[in-house]
Structure 1
């Protein structure tokens, strides 16, 4: 005797329609990984979904698809902006739904890392036109948003802060990011040169150097240093008394420099570096200075050995063996130490 058994064929959750109609998508905008629900009629048997910009595909789960609805998440690599979401069912019929992908704020460049109380700084990047809040990271201090576009955000720095160095938390409709850029309160820094010499500091250059109003990164003046052709020159600053002691807990040495008419490499020099006295041949800390633009440097104290042979430090600057192809003029600004 033979006994036969059979299983009832599973009924599909949905079937393809020749005339699908998407009536609503909720929510109408969202960021990566947000769950979306499309409702309507004839929405069954969806086999493909993709976001129009860059044709970013969605992972379709048939268990979340009925004749009247389909649920799916925004892919992590969906391109922000207004676009269509495209759908295709197993019958090859396509339809689309308009949607706005929200993007997290992204900051690529800043007008300055350093600020004084109440100064305005421009942040450049993308997805900035819907920013609603800017905070000092880890604190409750909120910055005033002066203006905003899709690619720029102007913020007013706080009138006072106990912090020397901090990042920013920026929030828009997609969420919150913390900037990779760190901002420095000049008011809480140790100044070698700002718009003039810091307390105890003066011109310590071998070659021609002076305070100049020709260019400035912050304020109205910078320190102009001329390196003569064919020479060996160290230009910078001196603090003969009392000097700068290595006991204040500073973490960074920072400065802006505007380059000469061609790219050149200089070397940080100081009288207490391990390589010898100020202006010697020590090349342990190279500083590559691009031509004609302001460039920001923030060097870890532990990496540059300014007090390697003792304390206090009395001379600090930048040395070059040459330049051999013509004079070079640099402008230094915001020469500071940061806690």
Structure 2
């Protein structure tokens, strides 16, 4: 019995020793210190070459070539600034008993299996504040035996637009952008010009811009901002349309350029009410009776030219469409489109306009003649009609849909 008790005690002691040494080192009990922070990885884009020389028996050079080196070339990875989402190695002393690591007060993930008493691998959280009172440029490590603070700048992400309130602008209009990195933006330009938008309001995730008169047809937004104290620029992936310079059909709460309602069912045409407008106080209504094979649309044969003449400088047809009570697919039709202004049940994919119930959706359709292009003037150079066909089906209900900010864009 005594032997059994001794054996248990021995196992208990052995188990406790293994638990204490499970990290592979003994954490220091002194106050923690940080000596430097290093990038965890870095791509060396420079090509390094070794020179190979061969000689003949007389000692003369017979061949001299440069070949890519197989050797590793060191680089200095010490840094005092880092990007959210990336890993960094912290060097110091007495780090083995670390409890938390924080950047600007935001706790960061670290893997205990990849730490030593003198180093710690950590990833900067994506939600780390980079502006405002919380952006203290402080890396804080808390251990069982103390706290150390180290000056370290979390670099703001470049201005990135994730969503917009509108892809169209005009003199006096405003657009709200949502994304990240807006707090350090100092100005916003319009690509391809010297024109600028005015910053009305901004935070790190939301920015509102006001637009004046401009000569651009289409543009991206060019953000000037500061990255760790260095001036930088970023360009939006989204393209925006200046409606003032477009050929407008439905805009500013009315038909434009002599276009008028040419729908098959009434009430139709322009309908007022903020709930049915995207950029103004009214939009064009599309009225589809239940089960009907119906075209709702517009015409412009009263224009001075007799219609909308072919012009290769126009590149896109753009519009917002608000769906009805259920999801539908409309077919874009026109008198000079392939298939004409007809009840087209086998239209090309480019003509199929998916609508979502009760939701505004933006369309920007290329007008060219190649594959995946609308080819708006396919059968003639003077277009006079544009509409939307809905194929009726059993079980349909009466549908009202809306079109706004419809224009041809250069």
**Does TM, normalized by the shorter one, top 0.5?**
yes
Measured after TM superposition, the shift of residue 139 of structure 1 is 3.1
1:207 pairs with one of 257, 261, 265: 265
Could you tell me which runs of 5 or more consecutive residues in structure 1 were left unpaired when the two chains were aligned: 1-15, 61-66
Q: Quick one: which of 318, 329, 338 aligns to 2:400? A: 329
Give the RMSD, CA atoms, in angstroms.
4.1
Q: Does 1:300 align with 2:356?
A: no
| Corresponding residue of 1:286 | 352
2:334 matched residue in structure 1: 270
Alpha-carbon spacing, 1:74–1:30, altered in 2? closer, same or farther (3 Å):
farther
The alignment's TM-score, normalised by the length of structure 1, stands at 0.77
Question: After superposition, where does 1:192-271 map in structure 2 within 5 Å?
Answer: 192-194=249-251, 195-208=253-266, 209-214=268-273, 215-241=276-302, 242-271=306-335
Compared CA separation, residues 139 and 45, structure 1 to 2 (3 A): farther
Return the alpha-carbon distance in structure 1 between the equivalents of residues 158 and 124 of structure 2.
Answer: 11
Kept after mapping to 2: 8 A contact 1:260/1:292: yes
Cα distance, 1:153–1:275 mapped onto 2, change above 3 Å:
same
- The answer to whether the aligner puts 1:156 opposite 2:214 as a matched pair is no
Q: Which string of whole-angstrom CA distances, capped at 9 and with x for unpartnered residues, describes residues 80-132 of structure 1?
A: 435974779xxxx9966474522222211111111121211111112323322
Does the CA contact (< 8 Å) of 2:335 and 2:383 recur in 1?
yes
Shift of 1:163: 0.6
Shift in Å, 1:183: 1.3
1:118 aligns with 2:172: yes
Q: Structure 1 stretch 252-261 or stretch 17-26: which is displaced more?
A: 17-26
Query: Cα deviations across residues 48-105 of structure 1 (Å, max 9, x unaligned)?
Result: 9997756378xx9xxxxxx9xx9x99979865435974779xxxx9966474522222
From the superposition, tell whether residues 80 and 338 of structure 1 become closer, same or farther in structure 2 (CA, over 3 Å).
Answer: farther
Q: Is the 8 A contact 1:33 1:74 kept in 2?
A: no
Residue 141 of structure 1 and its aligned partner are, at CA, apart by 2.2
Taking a change above 3 Å as real, the CA distance of residues 179 and 80 of structure 1, as seen in their structure-2 partners, is: farther
Match in the other structure for 2:64: none
- 1:31·1:74 contact (CA, 8 Å) conserved in 2? no
Where does residue 194 of structure 2 map in the other structure? 140
Q: Which residue of structure 2 aligns with residue 5 of structure 1?
A: none
Matched, 1:187 2:248: no
Aligned counterparts of 2:121 and 2:375: Cα–Cα separation in 1: 52
Q: Which sections of structure 2, spanning at least 5 residues, go unmatched?
A: 1-27, 38-77, 130-134
Query: CA 1:54 to 1:220, structure 2 compared with 1: closer, same or farther past 3 Å?
Result: same
Higher relative contact order (CA 8 A, sep 6+): 1
Deviation of the 1:231 alpha carbon: 0.8
CA spacing shift, 1:33–1:334, aligned 2, 3 Å: closer
Offset of 1:311 from its aligned partner? 1.8
Q: Indicate how the Cα distance of structure 1 residues 322 and 100 shifts in structure 2: closer, same or farther if over 3 A, else same.
A: farther
Distance 1:200 1:138, change over 3 A: closer
CA distance in 1 between partners of 2:182 and 2:122 (Å): 20
Secondary structure, aligned partner of 1:305: coil
Number of residue pairs the alignment of both structures matches: 313
Structure 1 distance, partners of 2:203, 2:313, is 39
